[in-house]
Structure 1
Amino acid sequence: MAKAQTVTILSPVNGDVIALNKVKDPVFSAGMMGLGFGVQPSSGEVVAPVSGQVTMVAETKHAIGFTTPDDHLEVLVHLGIDTVDLKGAPFTVKVAAGDDVQAGDVIATMDLAAIQAANRQTTVILAVTNTSDKLESLDVVTGAKAAGDVTATGRLNANTFNAKRQNRLPKAGKYDQLAADIVANVGGVENVSSLIHCITRLRFYLKDESKANDDVVRDLKGVIDVAKAGGQYQVVIGPAVTDVYDAIIKQIGPGFSNDSETAKAVAETAAAAQRPTTPWGKVKWGISNLIGVITGSMIPVIGLLAASGILKGILALLTTFNLVSPTAPTYVIINAMGDSVFYFLPIFVGFTAGKKLGADPVIMGIIGGVLTYPAIVTMASGKATSTLLGMGINANFFGLPVHVASYTYSIFPMIAGAWLASKLEPWLKRVIPTVLRMIFVPLFEVVIVSGAILLFLGPIITVLSTGLANIIVWVYNLSPAISGLIIGGFYQVLVIFGLHWAVIPIVANDIATTGHSYLNAIVSATMVAQGGAVFAIALKSKLANIQELAWPATISAFCGVTEPAMYGINLKYGRAFVTASIGAAVGGFLTGLMNVNMWGFTGSLIGFTSFVNPKGLDFSFYGFLIASAATIVVSFALTWMFGFKDEDANAVKVAPKKRHLGATA
């Protein structure tokens, strides 16, 4: 088994093998091109380090790429440092792209004396350029080696090994086909003078722009748009631009890259997105950053939330049609599967928010565990002994009366806690001696941050949400239609900050005392609206990464769980959340206007039976259908027309990767 999980790589030349971090090239030595090694050559004959197909030979002959047939490792052999300027003079390459070679076959020669005479270094560098996808580790044996000697042993990561065992390894890189299609439709390699990129766009310098087929390029899956400016043929890709750029350069050769111009373009486009100086600009920047932190903290668990939402929807159907009893063990087990990610959400969000904001993610996960600790949950649900500032006092801390809120299903308190920890942790490390940090930094951090959330932040949120709940009840009593408009438009905003929790007891009390809740019917419309908006994005977007989130988020929202739609797509891209809220306002208005009632907790489309009066079908059910249809139409149409374009994905800042080959050649 161990043997099957490893691959061997030969030395491409005679000489002394050195560790990659000893190579005098910052891009390779920092591992930006992947794991590998260097060789200080003693002779100029170059052999294939692996068996496979030659996938790239640079026009300047200084770099040769290979792909292995079984594991699909992409191996680059780079002949010398800063040798691209030599225009291939010191090199003789005996293979071409598409040739099959065996490990140890002679593939090229290099004139070491000529390279040294040109004041260039002769170091041969080998790198596995798809390390992050394929390798778990690479063990290199340094010292004197002959060309063809086994020099490195790589261990395949679990995903690659299992895929290899099951004969389902991909045959090419993720963006190879897109790269080939783009090159073919801009007029082919012969029409390209050079290629650079900024933070969202490929920028071709073409010999003849009329040879490019704009419509075909624009319609390629993964391409957002085509633009022409500054003598450049620009292909808008979005966040994946660096990956697509790498795939193209791998195919057409590093001679077409220009590292200095790429760095300049990246700097210019990144500068345009920097913090503004006007007061309103600062407010917008602050809100954008807050949304970025919230969505960034949620993205890692969005898939789990969507899956759980769908599972909860299925369970709702099973209980609605009496296929499973709510008291049966089957129900309890399935409910645990669907509900656990929400119940323990503070733990997961604590971990992800910690990583996002620079706090220790493990410590933040523990703090999330404090908030969801069974005794704390029980305390939060306990009967209040008195009230203070509208809060029910249900506990005491060293004799001081406190309100302990419920934190299951919540995210904002943990994000606020992660921010506090990111400020507290560096200070603790400065004042606590090194020998004591391992124990006392986590100790103080858990105590201070947990205490801040439980004793201060939670009560503040409770006061605010209680006040808002009182306002909502007042408005609803004044006019159901107006309250539907207001609650529908703003309810999901309350969800973001955890201020909606005071509404839930009102709904529960309504159902417990009267058997129904008009308010819950309005809340249901907001769920449908989030689903309608993300449904429009799922159909409209051509970006695979958007569709991968949008489709399950749509199903989940219609099953009554809006977090994947809201945090994964709508809120992240701004306008879509606004258009969804407008749709929710329309749905809430119609729900209130028609006095739609609801006899159960489960909302959205999956909860259609909650709108059936136990005493007999009445207009509430038809009102639900009318309001839901209007909500979907409005949120879908507004989102399609105004709420989202694939270009919006460009707003997601990506850290530009330092370029290879062009920079190192």
Structure 2
Amino acid sequence: MNVMKNQILISLATPADGKFLTLDKVQDPVFSQGLMGQGFAIEPSSGEIVAPVDGTVTLVSETKHAFGIKTKEGADVLVHLGIDTVELAGKPFSVSIKQGDIVKAGEAVVKMDLTAIQAAGKQTTVILAITNSNDVLDELMTTNVEQTVKAGATVAVAEIKATSTVTQVKHNGSKYDQLAAAIVDNVGGAENINSLIHCITRLRFYLKDESKANTAVIENMDGVISVAKAGGQYQVVIGQAVTDVYDAVIAQIGSQFTNPDATAEAVDETTKAAAKGFWPKVKQGASNFIGVLTASMIPIIGILAGSGILKGILAALTGFKVLSTTSGTYVLLNAIGDATFYFLPVVLGFTAAKKLGSDPIVLAIVGGILIYPQIITLASKASTASTNFLGIPTTLISYTSSVFPIIVAAWLGKYVEKFLKKIIPMYVRSVFVPILEALILSLIVIIGVGPVITMISKGLSNGLVAIYNFSPTLSGLILGGVYQTMVIFGLHWGLIPIVINDIATNGHSYINSILSITMVAQGGAVLAVFLKTKDKHLKEMSLAAAISAFCGVTEPALYGVNLKYKRVFVVASIASALGGALTGFLRVDNYALSGALIGFPAFITPGVGIGSNFYGYLISHYATLLIAVVLVYFFGYTDKMLAKKANPMNLNNLEVA
């Protein structure tokens, strides 16, 4: 494979006469937010459209409002003619190129009827975007001045990454070729493919037999966000690198599998759909967050489940006084069981960054900073938790076992790195970009995210305690229903000190009994999935996650199954609310920082032994288990969800499936 090590520059010409605009001025969020890559725009004064670069035409939209050119350096350049002009069905456009043509910069390619477009109530803005910017661009330098330009004049220069593979030597073991080969193998090979198209984020296979596809393997590949099945298509969600992976797949299986018209239509539809509606975007954003969350956790679900089971066994052994918490055996076994959870931000920093396109090593370091021992020590004491950084007040919190903050950092990492590369000279980037990126992301979490979580967490906790004092049953209903959602966003930490203080001061905690119920409900939900599914991989994961939840560790159940199949989590939360209400009604008490099914000794009243409180524990916890299993089995899960589940995509790419 020929790798270019010298600086590679591509000149980008303006595709039309008119006023030059930076991309952020475009009145289309898909382009203005950079979702389609870096670029610029022209407010045209003439409808004569020319090629902005030398290259091969890879796309001509069926509705003629967009075309794509691939340069010999590997840049995929998309030219989009007008905003929402896909609705005009090609009438204002006359195209003189077709897929496969070789064009030169400045060569006339399309005639665009500006008057007809304006009469239809559409904007005529001509937009240029390098759709694989994240993979091939080091920097895009534009005039950054809103000035009048002539078609064919150079207005931008793209600096190609020094390690970008030139296309004269066709893919030969690159990361896209390796991913493409793995995807093809796991969809059943070329012999199982009828055709392949793509949209703005997904490979869309038409397979002869979908049962031959190994979905579990594909979903766990680096570079794959998730898999969806819809409209007779087997969709592999890639993100912004979809065109590179698509090209690599076609290079391996042959051009006879392509359908350019269908691809252009899919790109048009998803581009248009991504720009519409506030609430659809909110819903999609939430789905994206859950998708990245679960995808980041999947690689470590097995060891999380095993660690949870080990911690449960240790809790039982100490509960029955078989082991002392000060013995060497306990300390070593507890370290083995606890390490995965303690260092979760480090591991998640790495896995989330790989899904979101950030630097995995930098994000792992950010995770390490968040759980740095001195920070944890300061955060553990009220007298030292309040501090400041360069005069900015902040509240330190413990990020051990946390999930949400490092996911936020991984999402922001891509943008921070891109910004730093723009302002730092190339010859010192390898030294300064990683440490500055780690510094910025750590401060954003510690100074920004941490205090916000603390404030919301304390408010929720005080409110829930007040509700318990007013009505234990109502408190159990609310707390039981929302606690595991609080865990996802790290908002549960405000309740933990209250529980610890109750047990340390009063010797018991009613609230911890309700928290215990939520673990049983999530375990019961995933147990129902185990009982109902016929999918071998899901069955194995569900059983391990259920045992872990019954041992007091819900992460494998939450992130491995329940959140992934969202209805399972919703139904489990309903069961948890009902169980919490029953627990509050019976006023079940807890006498140690333990719970779930394995922690039953913590519900035996000291000095009294097995009595009414323990019977209340049995009734509330096993009733919750039964409710969760029954509700999820009949209303929360079906194997059809394996095919129909809405698989979220990268947080940086919005698409309506």
Instruction: Say whether the fold is shared (TM-score over 0.5).
Output: yes
Query: Unaligned stretches of 5+ in structure 1?
Result: 1-17, 20-25, 27-124, 137-172, 184-193, 205-216, 225-233, 241-253, 386-391, 656-665
Counterpart position of 2:305: 306
Aligned residues: 452
2:483 pairs with 1:491: yes
Q: Residues 436 and 258 of structure 1: is their aligned pair in 2 closer, same or farther, counting only changes over 3 Å?
A: closer
Q: Tell me the secondary structure at the aligned position of residue 606 of structure 1.
A: coil
CA deviation map 1:288-338 (0-9, x unaligned): 111112212222221221111011011112212222111101000000000
Mapped contact 1:403–1:455 kept (Cα < 8 A): yes
Q: Which amino acid aligns with 1:620?
A: N
Higher-Rg structure is 1
1:611-644, CA deviations, whole angstroms, 9 ceiling, x for partnerless residues? 1111222222111111122212222222222222
Tell me the secondary structure at the aligned position of residue 598 of structure 2.
helix
The aligned counterpart of 1:315 is: 314
> Which is further off, 297-306 or 508-517?
297-306
Q: Distance in 2 between matches of 1:552 and 1:408?
A: 23
- CA–CA separation in structure 1 for the residues paired with 2:265 and 2:326: 60
3-state DSSP class of the match of 2:590?
coil
Q: 1:222 to 1:414 in 2, by over 3 A?
A: closer
Of 616, 619, 622, the residue aligned with 2:612 is 619
**Contact between 1:412 and 1:496, CA under 8 Å: does it hold in 2?**
yes
Q: 1:238 deviation in Å?
A: 8.6
Partner of residue 608 from structure 1, selected from 600, 605, 629: 600
**Does the C-alpha gap of structure 1 residues 262 and 492 become closer, same or farther in structure 2, counting only changes over 3 Å?**
farther
Question: Mapping of 1:240-639 within 5 angstroms?
Answer: 259-260=257-258, 264=262, 275=274, 277-384=276-383, 393=386, 395-398=387-390, 401-614=393-606, 615-639=608-632
| TM-aligned CA distance change 1:399 to 1:576, over 3 Å | same
Query: Would the aligned equivalents of 2:366 and 2:438 in 1 still touch at CA under 8 Å?
Result: yes
Distance in 2, Cα, partners of 1:396 & 1:367: 19
SS of residue paired to 1:277 = coil
Confirm or deny: 8 A CA contact 1:347 1:364 kept in the other structure.
yes
**Structure 2 CA distance for partners of 1:368 and 1:580, relative to 1, 3 Å:** same
Name the residue aligned to 1:229.
none
In the alignment, the residues of structure 1 paired with residue 187 and residue 603 of structure 2 have an alpha-carbon distance, to the nearest angstrom, of 48
List per-residue Cα deviations over 1:201-224 (Å, max 9, x = no partner).
8655xxxxxxxxxxxx99999899
**CA displacement 1:197-246 (0-9 Å, x = unmatched):** 89798655xxxxxxxxxxxx99999899xxxxxxxxx9998979xxxxxx
After superposition, what is the alpha-carbon deviation per residue over 1:465-502, rounded to whole angstroms, capped at 9, x for unaligned?
Answer: 00111101100000000000000000011001100000
Residue 423 of structure 1 aligns with an amino acid whose one-letter code is Y
Does the Cα contact within 8 Å between 1:196 and 1:262 map onto a contact in 2?
no
- Contact 1:276/1:285, CA 8 A, preserved across alignment: no
Write the distance in 1 (CA, Å) between the matches of 2:345 and 2:442: 12
Letter in structure 2 aligned against 1:287: A
Task: Pick closer, same or farther for the CA change 1:433–1:126 going to 2, 3 Å.
Answer: closer
Q: Tell me, in whole angstroms, the C-alpha distance in 1 between the residues paired with 2:596 and 2:264.
A: 44
Give the conservation status (yes or no) of the 8 Å contact 1:525–1:628.
yes
**1:95 corresponds to:** none
Q: Distance in 1 between matches of 2:260 and 2:390?
A: 61
Name the CA shift for 1:236/1:531 in 2 (closer, same or farther; >3 Å). Answer: farther
Q: In the superposition, relative to structure 1, how do residues 445 and 359 fare at CA in structure 2: closer, same or farther (>3 Å)?
A: same
* CA distance 1:219–1:350, change in 2 (3 Å): closer
What percent identity do the matched residue pairs reach? 46
**Which residue identity is paired with 1:377?**
I
Q: How does 1:20-419 map to 2 (within 5 A)?
A: 195=194, 204=208, 259-260=257-258, 264=262, 275=274, 277-384=276-383, 393=386, 395-398=387-390, 401-419=393-411
Q: In the superposition, relative to structure 1, how do residues 220 and 336 fare at CA in structure 2: closer, same or farther (>3 Å)?
A: same
2:564 counterpart SS class: coil
1:162 alignment partner in structure 2: none
- Structure 1 Cα separation of the partners of residues 309 and 370 of structure 2: 26
Alignment match, 2:156: none
- Flag the 1:546–1:275 CA change in 2: closer, same or farther, 3 A: farther
Q: How far apart, CA to CA, are the structure 2 residues paired with 1:236 and 1:620?
A: 55
Distance 1:263 1:654 in 2: 24
Shift in alpha-carbon separation, 1:654–1:400, aligned structure 2, 3 A: closer
Counterpart of 1:652 in 2: which secondary structure? coil
Moved more, 595-604 or 290-299: 290-299
* Structure 2 partner of 1:652: 647
Distance 1:335 1:300, change over 3 A: same
How far apart are residue 342 of structure 1 and its match?
A: 0.8
Q: Which secondary structure state, in structure 1, belongs to the residue aligned with residue 421 of structure 2?
A: helix
Q: Distance in 1 between matches of 2:572 and 2:604?
A: 26
SS in 2 for 1:406: coil
Classify 1:201/1:558 alpha carbon distance in 2 versus 1 (closer, same or farther; 3 Å).
farther
Matched-pair contact (CA < 8 Å) for 1:346–1:409: yes
Provide Cα deviations, 1:560-610, integer angstroms capped at 9, x if missing partner: 100111011111111111001001001100000001111111111111111
Residues 210 and 234, structure 2, Cα contact 8 Å, conserved in 1 = no
Gaps of 5+ in 2: 3-57, 59-170, 198-202, 217-230, 238-252, 651-657
Distance in 1, matches of 2:420 and 2:262, equals 39
With over 3 angstroms needed to count, the CA separation of the structure-2 counterparts of 1:258 and 1:271, relative to structure 1, is farther
Cα shift readout 1:131-172 (whole Å, capped 9, x = no counterpart): 979x99xxxxxxxxxxxxxxxxxxxxxxxxxxxxxxxxxxxx
**Alpha-carbon separation, structure 2, partners of 1:222 and 1:447:** 40
Q: Is the 8 A contact 1:239 1:653 kept in 2?
A: no
SS of residue paired to 1:384: helix
Report how far residue 645 of structure 1 moved: 2.3
Q: C-alpha distance in 1, partners of 2:492/2:375?
A: 20
TM-superposition CA deviations, 1:484-530 (whole Å, max 9, x none): 00000000110011000000001001101111111000000000010
Q: Residue 652 of structure 1 aligns to which amino acid in structure 2?
A: N
Q: CA deviation at 1:277?
A: 2.4
Distance in 2, matches of 1:622 and 1:447, equals 53
Q: Distance in 2 between matches of 1:598 and 1:586?
A: 19
Question: Would you say the 8 A contact 1:404–1:459 is kept in 2?
Answer: yes
